[in-house]
Structure 1
Amino acid sequence: MASPIQGVDFISSMPDVILHHIVSFIPIKLAIITSALSRRWRHVWCGTPCLDFDRYDGAEAINQTLNSYRAQKITSFDLSMSECVPEPQIDSWIEFAMSRNVEKMSLSLSGFVDEETYRFPDSFYLSSSLEELWLDFVMIPGCTVSWKSLRRLTLCETKQSLADILTGCPVLETLELLDCGGVQRLDLTKSPTLTRLTVFLGQFHIIAPHIRYLKLTSTKEQCTLVDVSSLIEASLAICLEANTYGYSSGNYLGAGDYLPLQNMVLKMLAKLQNVKKLTFGSTFLQDANLARCLDSQGLDPNQCWRSKLYEAFPTSADYHYDFSRFSSKLVASFIEMVLKNAKTLETLTVALKHIRYRGAGKCFKELLQMHPTLSNNNNVSIEFRRLVFSSMFYLV
């Protein structure tokens, strides 16, 4: 029995800064419970650098926590609302975090705060410590934005222009726009440090000459790549199938949506001719005959597929993915097109996941049988792998 007691004494004898670091890995609710361990632990939680308030925390509980909080520096502050509270109350919480030089902040207020009347306090837009911001609420600055250290910005359902915001982020590296339908012109010309862009739903004209990574997920919305001249890696998850379930809107694509989306993707391919890594979603491969479509649009496949490294992922993160529609002939036709047009291709690896789904095993066996006839180029090595939880094409 002596060892456990000594172990407890040893931990309790650690400096406060170490104990604060330890409790920072657990939610603030659990951190507060540690105060019951002993007199030594009674106020340890008050110095943890991380504060997280989820939708189950009421205003009273949040106020009690902040009133007892003693740390002068907050590294992470997460606030997710599940009830309507007075706007001055929200201001006080945000101002509290900003006064403690918060580095990472996440605010989810949509649905519980009036977007027509509420505006963030000016202190929210003035920070030299903020490095990461995740925001699910409208942002209309009433002052000049100055986020001198912000490197990652994630916005959800934003409807206003981003020009004034981006101007105040001189070192921004990553921008994520999630269902921001109101932002139509995305000009990142004046953001030379911004190299990673993620767009989930929304209609955009993207002018981003400095980005090196692009992830685009879309359904009906038309997205135009105006300038992505520095792009090295791109991921396109664009639904082309008529009557395919929309990602978050609950709408279905009609037959009239198919051709415009297909044309949009083909134009994107022309802009992506110099990328080294390209990722396609499953619906794109299932519903687009690429070789025929490229030719019908007057696009030269050699220009669209001349990169040294390409990857195509015929997969889906959705749990309801139907593998029965994913045929070996479809995979083979895509491989043949790439082999024909990717002039510098050295190695192609086909790895199928969701093997447990109906039709997946059969597809894999058929591909193995097709292997000798897939490539007419003896310089290309084709490898087949059967994976349980990962599915992709690797083309090197």
Structure 2
Amino acid sequence: METRSAKRRKLRSPEHSSGSNTGEDRISDLPDAVLHHIFCLLPIKSIVHISILSKRWRALWYTFPDLDFTTIIPPGTAITKFVYLKKLGNVITQILALREKLSDVRTLRFYACMSFSGLHALIRSAIRLQVQELDIRVATNDTFNFPRSIITSDCLRVLKVTSYSGFRLPPSRIMRSGFQKLRTLSLSFVYLDNQSSIVDLFTDCSFPQLTKLYLDSCFNLKHLRVGCHLLEELILENCSSLQGLEIASPRLDTLRVSSCFDASSINNTWFQIDAPRLNTIVWANSSITTNSCIKNIVCLHEVTIGFLVRQENLDADKLQNVSGFLSGLSHTESLTLESGFVEIMLKNKPLATIFFHPFMKLKSLELHISEVLGLACLLKICPMIHTLIINITEGYKAERRWNRHSRNLSNSWEEKFWESHTKDLKPLLCYLKIVKIQGFSESENDISLVKFLLKHAKVLQDLILCLRDDHSRGYHRHEKFKSQIMGFSRASLDAKLEFS
């Protein structure tokens, strides 16, 4: 039988004419590493089908280092309702057993419904194969204990565990004995029966090389301390029982806190961060903490704030807490305020001017609001922005429509309101260059703001109005509305209007 090497020598020989090269299998002659890279672009089911073509392709399947079984699951399928997932765990275990004498596994991803013993056996097989990235999502009959074989692995670099039934972490003394090479850790649906098991866990002793940490739905988590010196990204989501958070990571670049902190224990919550390299903060749908201490934030570039608070529960003390929180973020260059926080400002205008410190380095401001009137109190504390983005939500549109035929806008109280703040907004009007208003309508509130900006913004370059869909407005009325706005006087000769 002719070997592949003999075949290649024959093809290179002078006697072999170019015409006889038709049908040559050049792909099979590629090195294994190149073919493995090509396989990475295919779903695993296709790779299995290819493996039956020849012994050469079968060997490639047995040595393929990246096993992603998630590609066989239809998108959007619930893990507990997909019948095949109940058998998939056994299939994966058998495949790993065939690999133990042939090749290690670099990446293993799978979704499965498994028993405790089956899951632990599968993970032990993966660890024996020197797996570097392990991403598992499992549904079991009950809460299971975190497999200890993972902790002691010297090859594991990325670990992502999601259990739809929940799982428990081992005691701290066991956790601290491993994870010496781990760089990325993602844990979802963790049950914490013993609070001390996680308070001092995320330190250099346990995770000396950790750069990314993601914790989601950690039940009974009340206090968390993160002190990994190499950590660059920290994401906390759905930890509603959280009362205290302390972060001391000198290389932290990105922090996201979403749906965290116990609103019922608002008088006992606190937040402390010491991260001199922090670049991005997202505080989304989370409660206001009673005490906050933010220090050494000198490289901050982007901040998004979305507090979860009811107006009836807001008082001067809570507003003061918000002020203390924002004062540590006043060096940011880009700020996004979600509608909840903007409502706090608009409904507490006198307090806002007292409590909130100016954002002197701010260059870009994005606001999600239900109405534009009252924004003056926010714009006063952002005197040097050059980009303003306003997203007007659907929640508030009971304003009067602008009647172009019978009313003169200069006589409306909406324009008089903005004109009364001209002096306070003078610094802003000397810097503002780009304004984008999404959800713009024919209400007098929206139009009065546009007319004010065109009239007083001296260096304005672009004013972009994204019109709200209004099926009741015909084409000719729509065009006439735009032409009326185009006729407003402009302080800047370079100002351009754009409708979309």
**Number of residues of Structure 1 aligned to a counterpart in Structure 2:** 349
SS at match of 1:41: helix
Distance in 2 of aligned mates of 1:3 and 1:338: 78
Counterpart position of 2:345: 289
Verify the 8 A CA contact 1:52 1:77 in the aligned structure 2: yes
Partner of 1:312: 366
Q: Which residue of 1 aligns with 2:213?
A: 175
CA deviation vs aligned residue, 1:343-367 (integer Å, no higher than 9, x gap): 442x114276999xx9997526665
Q: Could you tell me how far apart the structure 2 residues matched to 1:3 and 1:308 are?
A: 70
Alignment of 1:123-142 (within 5 A): 123-136=149-162, 137-141=167-171, 142=174
Q: CA deviation at 1:179?
A: 1.8
Query: Alignment partner for residue 61 of structure 1, among 69, 85, 91?
Result: 91
State the Cα deviation string for residues 44-79 of structure 1 (Å, max 9, x = none).
211111123455342331222222226533221123
User: What CA RMSD, in Å, does the superposition of the two structures yield over aligned residues?
Assistant: 4.0
Tell me the CA shift for residue 129 of structure 1. Answer: 2.6
2:464 matched residue in structure 1: 384
**Residues 46 and 352 (structure 1 numbering): CA distance in 2 closer, same or farther, change over 3 Å?**
farther
Matched ranges for 1:28-39 at <5 A: 28-39=44-55
Q: Does 1:79 align with 2:110?
A: yes
Output one character per residue of 1:96-146: Cα deviation in whole Å (capped at 9) or x when no partner: 22222222211223x40532x53413x310233322221223322545342
Inter-partner Cα distance in structure 2 for 1:387 and 1:18: 51
1:155 aligned onto 2:187:
yes
Contact 2:259–2:284 (CA<8 Å) still a contact in 1? yes
Alpha-carbon offset, residue 212 of structure 1: 3.0
Q: Which amino acid aligns with 1:384?
A: I
Q: 1:25 to 1:266 in 2, by over 3 A?
A: farther
**Which structure has the bigger radius of gyration?**
2
Question: Partners of 2:248 and 2:311 in 1: how far apart?
Answer: 34
Q: Structure 2 vs 1, CA of residues 257 and 341 (structure 1 numbering), >3 Å: closer, same or farther?
A: closer
Contact 2:356 2:381 in 1 (8 A): no
Aligned to 2:379: 339
Change (3 A) 1:25 1:99: farther
Where in structure 1 are there 5+ consecutive unaligned residues?
241-251, 315-325, 389-396
Q: Identity percentage over the alignment? A: 19
Shift in alpha-carbon separation, 1:293–1:105, aligned structure 2, 3 A: farther
Question: Structure 2 length as normaliser, TM-score?
Answer: 0.59
Paired AA for residue 105 in structure 2? I
Task: For residue 234 of structure 1, give the secondary structure of its aligned residue in structure 2.
Answer: strand
Conserved 8 A contact 2:392-2:440: no
Determine if the alignment matches structure 1 residue 206 to structure 2 residue 245: yes
Q: Write the distance in 1 (CA, Å) between the matches of 2:354 and 2:332.
A: 21
Distance 1:4 1:284, change over 3 A: farther
Contact residue 311 and residue 344 of structure 2 kept, 8 A: no
Change (3 A) 1:132 1:30: same
State the match for 1:348 in structure 2. Answer: 387
SS at match of 1:215: strand
8 Å Cα contact 2:215-2:237 kept in structure 1: yes
Q: Tell me, what secondary structure is at the counterpart of 2:136?
A: strand
For residues 228-257 of structure 1, the C-alpha deviation after alignment (integer angstroms, 9 at most, x for no partner) is 4533321222278xxxxxxxxxxx998766
CA separation in 2, counterparts of 1:191 and 1:176?
Answer: 13
Contact preservation (8 Å) 1:139, 1:158? yes
Structure 1 residues 214-223 or 58-67, which shifts more? 214-223
Is 1:272 the equivalent of 2:329? Answer: yes
| CA drift at 1:149 | 2.8
Letter of the 2:253 counterpart: R
* 1:393 equivalent in structure 2: none
- Output the amino acid matched with 1:150: L
Instruction: Mark the runs of 5 or more structure 2 residues left unpaired by the alignment.
Output: 1-18, 71-78, 193-197, 264-268, 288-307, 399-436, 469-500
SS in structure 1 at match of 2:50 = helix
Does the 8 A contact of 1:28 with 1:52 survive in 2?
Answer: yes
CA displacement 1:321-340 (0-9 Å, x = unmatched): xxxxx54526xx44x44432
